[in-house]
Amino acid sequence: MEATPIDNTFEDPGQRAPLVLNHNDFTSVTTDICRASESPRPPRAWYIAFAISAALASLFFLLIFYLFITGVGIWGNHSPTMWGFPIVNFVFWIGIGHAGTLISAILFLFRQKWRTAINRFAEAMTIFAVVCAGTFPVIHVGRVWVVYWLFPIPNQMELWPQFRSPLLWDVFAVSTYFTVSLLFWYVGMIPDLATFRDRAATKTRAIIYGLLALGWTGSNRHWHRYERAYLLLAALATPLVLSVHSVVSFDFAVAQLPGWHSTIFPPYFVAGAIFGGFAMVVTLAVPSRQLWGLKDFITMRHLENMNKIILLTGSIVGYAYVSEFFIAWYSGATYEGFAFINRAFGQHAWAYWLMLFCNVVAPQLFWFKRFRRSIPVMYFVVMCVNVGMWFERFVIVISLEQDFLPSSWGYFAPTWVDLMMLVGSMGLFLMLFLLFIRYLPVIAMAELKAVMPQADPHTSGEHDTPAGQNREVV
Amino acid sequence: MGDSALSAGTSDGFGLLAEFETPAQIMRAARAVHDAGYVEWDCHTPFPVHGLDKAMGVKPTILPVLVFFCGLMGVSLGFLLQWFTNAASIEAWFFGIVRGYEYMISGKPMMSLPAWIPVMFETTVLFSALATVGLMLVFNGLPRLYHPLFKSKRFARVTDDRFFLVIEARDPKFDRAASLSLLETLNPISIELVES
């Protein structure tokens, strides 16, 4: 087939919009996606970004070392704001991860084929976000050398963890989440790693990708079990992702504190996680598709779809904010009412209003198609959301500073270590992501080929292409 | 098509490998080879071709059933773990020194099942997911470091854009001349004899 321009900007419910632009055969898809990893040198921008993020990641590790030898006093945490930045960062990062699982598992179960272009790096993002998330509670325990007490390991004290605590549920939820996400990511990558192996130009690449591909031959008998296993993993990951952020919200909701003790928390946290995660996917997708020339695969339509989800989940989050206030007033509970008035007009009111602007007001721009399809507007909104979702967790955690005892009230101020650890964790996240887009298949090639019109055995080859496939621009 | 190479030598090697260009061609070829009654044969494709399982007569895998039982094992172990560590009060326990630590929290019963559900759920998912991936690999005979098909230069395109059908020499019906002529009727781009 010769290359005909393909258009996917039309809105016609009777036709499926093509998912891949300007590619009419499988060969060019493979070549274009492999180029990112096979080119001898990545673009200059990659080096610059890698240098910065690696420096910040090193700073993160240095600060963790400083923390270990000094103690948690180097943070701004104090009584009663015991949780401070580490828990804010933990909830922020774990939330980021959720969009990856949503794209890979939930959209898969819903047969949303557009997910194939973005699922691989959304899943990678999940893994790296969970790595950052997992670091914070571990270093927050203070005596980090006894962190294994969190796990049910027989010990000489005959002591076991307390399974009625949400903090212990977190240990199980987050470690399971990490394991399952990693499996899901890796299993999805096996056929593409085999592509890398078969195209390898150097011995090193052949050996490394050969080992990683586990001897994949594309056998249809293997594909059969592989597809079934992938479906099962998606079906398992879907309730898992909902459970993980519900459990994270239980850390707050099970505590009997005004502003925290609320049944709305699990759905509100899950919606917020998907919201923040999709914003991060767009944040990473826009530069990656530019840098690696992947605009034919991650098309404007993909970005627009994600922006629609951001608008939807952002509105759910906005609804939750309103509902929280309503219940605080309607319940007639004095302390609950105080906690919310204090959030909006207290000493950290600026954080509350910043959050509200970033999470509720800014995404409203996406009601307009023109803004959903404009890179600068899109980038502005997703940056707002990234900031806003961090501040949402900040606002929730920081309501600790006014507890039941006015004599202990204080003002939480982060120290430079707090701030640099937050920035450092971002560096770690970006560094891992940059390594990923350089060394691993950044788009799920096998899956992408399977959703191209040419992959349908009834339309390729000797049969004519029916109307609607390969719609041409006139 | 290199017929001289195909008929030379006495060894049948690993089998005959035919190369196709489109999903429709491999589909037609799979039907023909299946109808001819071969057992030890396979299609190799860059992506799962829709409907090829049916054309090849691949039986549904038992994997989901086994995963279900692994999930049951996960939920039971999650329950036993919490019961044993937080609520077990058997003094003469088999392990002697490793017995439960009974926390009394806000006067709640030792066996507080609702509070155990999150951990039981997580262990269920963890066991099922590990079983899914582990059993899928075991059933597929992976990981394996070597496969005779890797010797074929053309076969490297199986993960790119080509579709292959291989009839193995160990198939009871395999006969080099007959199998070759069957494959030739299917209009492949190439046919080659793969060494074992």
DSSP state of A159: -
Q: Which residue has the tokens 């071969």?
A: B38
The stretch A127-143 carries a mean pLDDT of 91
Residue ranges per structural domain of chain A = 26-141+183-399+411-455
Angle between helices A84-101 and A119-140 (to 10 degrees): 160
How far A77 CA lies from chain B's nearest CA (Å)? 27
Mutate to test the interface with A, among B54, B89, B133 (most CBs of A within 10 A): B133
Say yes or no to pLDDT of A11 above 80: no
Residue A24's pLDDT is what? 66
The stretch A384-405 carries a mean pLDDT of 90
CA distance A18 to A10: 10
Residue B1's pLDDT is what? 44
Residue A467's pLDDT is what? 42
Using an 8 Å Cβ cutoff, are A446 and B47 in contact?
Answer: yes
Using an 8 Å Cβ cutoff, are A25 and B161 in contact?
Answer: yes
Q: For residue B156, what pLDDT band results from cuts at 50, 70 and 90?
A: confident
Residue B108's pLDDT is what? 82
CB B85 to CB A247 under 8 A?
Answer: no
Helix (H) or strand (E) holding A221: helix A220-253
Q: What is the residue-averaged pLDDT of chain B?
A: 84
Whether chain B has a CB inside 8 Å of the CB on A469: the answer is no
How far B77 CA lies from chain A's nearest CA (Å)? 13
Compute the count of residue pairs across chains A and B with CB atoms less than 8 Å apart: 222
Nearest to B47 among A158, A215, A446 (CB): A446
The burial class, CB within 10 Å (0-12 / 13-18 / 19+), for A44 is exposed
Residue A5's pLDDT is what? 56
Listed range (A13-27, A322-336, A388-402) with the worst mean pLDDT: A13-27
- Of all residues in chain B, the one with the smallest CA distance to A191 is B159
Whether chain A has a CB inside 8 Å of the CB on B51: the answer is yes
Whether chain B has a CB inside 8 Å of the CB on A183: the answer is yes
Contacts of B160 in chain A (CB under 8 A): 26-27, 30, 195, 198-199
How far A223 CA lies from chain B's nearest CA (Å)? 6
CA distance A112 to A136: 34
Whether chain A has a CB inside 8 Å of the CB on B148: the answer is no
Residue B98's pLDDT is what? 52
How far B163 CA lies from chain A's nearest CA (Å)? 9
In this predicted complex, what is the ipTM?
0.89
CA distance A422 to A418: 6
Whether chain A has a CB inside 8 Å of the CB on B69: the answer is no
Listed range (A9-18, A64-73, A219-228) with the worst mean pLDDT: A9-18
Amino acid at the residue A116: T
Cα B26 to chain centroid distance, Å, stands at 21
The stretch A163-183 carries a mean pLDDT of 92
CA distance A159 to B192: 66
Cα A146 to chain centroid distance, Å, stands at 30
**Is the pLDDT higher at A293 or at A66?**
A66
Say yes or no to pLDDT of A297 above 70: yes
What percent of chain A shows pLDDT beyond 70? 93
For the segment A27-61, what is each residue's pLDDT rounded down to a tens digit? 888 888 888 888 888 888 899 999 999 999 999 99
The stretch B148-155 carries a mean pLDDT of 86
